[in-house]
Amino acid sequence: MAVLDQIRKRYSVRRYEARTVESEKLEAVLEAARLAPSARNVQEWRFVVVQDEAMRVKLVEAASGQTFVGEAPVVIACCATNTDYVMRCGQSAHPIDLAIAIEHMALQAVEEGLGTCWIGSFFPEKVRALLNIPDDIVVVELLTLGYPADSAPPKNRVALTDIASHETWSF
Q: How many domains does the chain have?
A: 1
Give a yes or no: residue 28 inside a domain.
Answer: yes
* Ramachandran bin of 113, using left for φ above 0, alpha for ψ from -120 to 50, beta for the remaining angles: left
What CATH number is associated with residue 136? Answer: 3.40.109.10
- Please report whether residue 164 resides in a domain: no
pTM: 0.96
Query: Is there a contact between 136 and 80 (Cβ–Cβ < 8 Å)?
Result: no
Please give the chain's pLDDT, 171 residues, in tens: 589 999 999 999 999 999 999 999 999 999 999 999 999 999 999 999 999 999 999 999 999 999 999 999 999 999 999 999 999 999 999 999 999 999 999 999 999 999 999 999 999 999 999 999 999 999 999 999 999 999 999 999 999 999 999 999 999
Domain membership of residue 83 (yes or no) is: yes
Does 43 map to a domain? yes
Residue 169 included in any domain: no
Show the domain range for 33: 3-149
